């Protein structure tokens, strides 16, 4: 929601008028000098939407302010030029509507178009989030990173490395939305105050690493690649089991962490719906983008979100740091998921992350069943792993 600065206005005053943490207002307006506001400057206020309201008989600013639980000056600020003492029946004014419910509807077939639409909506309501493309998919779709927070500690969360595990994107976006709601409404999540986390930790979300593959599973093959994809899929028009990127390379077998071992023991030696690690490590643009992101940012910990198994993996060759074991114990405590330190599988993103940086990395396997997991599991999965997400950004040893 945007307002125009009047004489005497300050960001602190807006914070008090709308009950928004001052830091979120400052971060929503990075080009504005907080102590040098110029009259007429547009200011973004997070956590609100503008609502058009038609004046009815008996309406006054004072009555509306009481009904909407806002200050009268909030109405005056949003309705510059309106005569507050002479409201005309049938005329339209603007009311500030606090956003208190999620806009992300995760419980649906969550493809890339829905993702981009939700990201745009979240940016409009929560302008303090920072967006950037960290790379492109094979078909040129932006791999969007959403950053929340200003702290020196850094946590990376990613989802949908595998196409038929698209429910992980919906779960991660739902957590992001709940986190943003908590920040702007000062509502704890499971008893945890989130504003201190915002100032202490920068959280990096890459909610869909493999958008081309997700869209293939949920929408079907693009016409210009249909023949090629049908050949890779062994003639089948059923792509629901597809894990790979659009070129038939398994993105979570693309990283130089014993990649050669995975290459030799995988049955697939050419592009396939799943399990082909590529002809070399880091050949695919999606995997390259994620490797570059980690190298640029030097994250303190990383969670790669997959399905299924109700378990998580957190070791690699004994290179994991001591805090990884403490995190693993907390993850199990809050979720009931089984902690698995070592698994006979290599070349994954968390394997490479641990190897490269000696930091805590985790592969979460959400839910249980056959991929793609049904949406009927969504609520249970979300409640199970919400605690893991919170621990990952909150608990520091």
Average pLDDT over every residue of 369-394: 98
| Helical pair 322-335 and 378-394, crossing angle rounded to 10 deg | 150
pLDDT tier at 95 (50, 70, 90 boundaries)? very high
124 given a catalytic annotation? no
Is 365 noted as a catalytic residue in this protein? yes
When pLDDT is averaged across residues 315-335 and rounded to a whole number, the result is 97
| Statement to judge: residues 191 and 322 lie in one domain | yes
Residues 45 and 120 in one domain: no
In a domain, 336, yes or no: yes
Q: Distance between CA atoms of 157 and 146, rounded to whole angstroms?
A: 10
Q: If DSSP codes are grouped into helix, strand and coil, which group holds residue 269?
A: coil
The answer on 176 and 53 residing in a single domain is: no
Q: Which of 178, 286, 365, 382 is catalytic?
A: 365
Residue span of the structural domain in which 81 resides: 2-98
Residue in this structure with the two tokens 């959403």, named with its chain if needed: 146
Q: Examine the domain organization and report whether 156 and 202 are in the same domain.
A: yes
Q: What does the pLDDT average to over 18-36?
A: 96
In terms of phi and psi (left: phi > 0; alpha: psi -120 to 50; beta: otherwise), the region of 135 is left
**Whether residue 116 sits in one domain with residue 62:** no
Q: Point out the catalytic residue in the list 316, 337, 346, 349.
A: 346
> Is residue 264 in a domain?
no
The verdict on residue 338 lying in a domain is yes
Report the number of distinct structural domains present in the chain.
Answer: 2
Beta-sheet strand order (sheet of 130-136): 130-136, 142-148, 201-206, 153-159, 301-307, 360-366, 311-313, 338-340
d(CA 14, CA 45): 8
Q: What are the pLDDT digits (tens) for 232-269? A: 999 999 999 999 999 999 999 999 999 999 999 999 99
- Please report which confidence band the pLDDT of residue 73 belongs to, taking 50, 70 and 90 as the band edges: very high
Q: Which of 98, 129, 159 is the last residue of a domain?
A: 98
Per-residue confidence at 177, pLDDT binned at 50, 70, 90? very high
Which pLDDT score is estimated for 67? 92
Residue 133 in contact with residue 185, Cβ under 8 Å? no
| The pLDDT of residue 124 | 98
Residue where a domain stops, chosen among 98, 129, 150: 98
The single-letter DSSP state of residue 245 is -
The domain boundary residue, chosen from 98, 123, 144:
98
For the chain, first and last CA: distance in Å? 38
pLDDT of residue 291: 98
List the beta bridge partners of residue 144: 133
| Cα–Cα separations (whole angstroms), residue 208 to 84, 160, 193, 312, 383 | 48, 5, 27, 19, 21
pLDDT one-digit tens code per residue, 330-377 = 999 999 999 999 998 999 999 999 999 999 999 999 999 999 999 999
pLDDT at position 382: 98
């Amino acid at each position: 929601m945007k307002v125009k600065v009047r004489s005497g206005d300050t960001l602190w005053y807006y914070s008090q008028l709308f009950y928004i943490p001052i830091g979120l207002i400052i971060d929503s307006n990075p080009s504005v000098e907080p102590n040098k506001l110029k009259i007429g400057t547009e200011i973004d206020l997070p956590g609100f939407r503008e609502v058009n309201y038609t004046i009815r008989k008996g309406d006054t600013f004072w009555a509306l302010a009481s009904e909407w639980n806002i200050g009268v000056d909030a109405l005056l600020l949003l309705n510059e030029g309106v005569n507050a003492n002479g409201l005309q029946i049938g005329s339209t004014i603007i009311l500030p509507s606090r956003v208190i419910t999620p806009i992300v509807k995760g419980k649906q077939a969550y493809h890339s178009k829905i993702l981009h639409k939700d990201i745009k909506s979240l940016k409009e309501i929560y302008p303090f989030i920072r967006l950037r493309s960290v790379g492109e998919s094979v078909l040129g779709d932006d791999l969007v990173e959403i950053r929340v927070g200003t702290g020196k500690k850094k946590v990376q969360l990613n989802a949908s490395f595998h196409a038929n595990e698209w429910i992980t994107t919906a779960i991660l976006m739902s957590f992001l939305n709940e986190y943003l709601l908590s920040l702007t409404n000062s509502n704890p999540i499971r008893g945890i105050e989130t504003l201190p986390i915002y100032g202490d930790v920068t959280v990096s979300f890459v909610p869909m690493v493999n958008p081309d593959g997700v869209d293939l599973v949920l929408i079907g093959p693009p016409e210009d690649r249909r023949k090629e994809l049908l050949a890779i899929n062994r003639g089948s028009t059923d792509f629901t089991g597809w894990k790979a990127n659009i070129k038939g390379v398994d993105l979570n077998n693309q990283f130089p962490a014993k990649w050669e071992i995975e290459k030799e023991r995988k049955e697939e030696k050419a592009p396939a719906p799943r399990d082909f690690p590529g002809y070399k490590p880091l050949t695919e643009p999606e995997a390259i983008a994620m490797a570059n992101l980690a190298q640029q940012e030097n994250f303190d910990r990383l969670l790669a979100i997959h399905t299924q198994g109700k378990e998580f993996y957190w070791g690699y060759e004994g290179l994991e740091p001591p805090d990884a074991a403490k995190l693993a114990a907390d993850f199990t405590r809050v979720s009931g998921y089984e902690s698995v330190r070592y698994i006979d599988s290599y070349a994954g993103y968390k394997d490479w992350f641990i190897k490269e940086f000696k930091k805590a990395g985790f592969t979460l396997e959400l839910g249980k069943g056959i991929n793609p997991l049904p949406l009927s599991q969504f609520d249970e999965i979300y409640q199970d792993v919400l605690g893991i997400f919170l621990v990952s950004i909150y608990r520091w040893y």
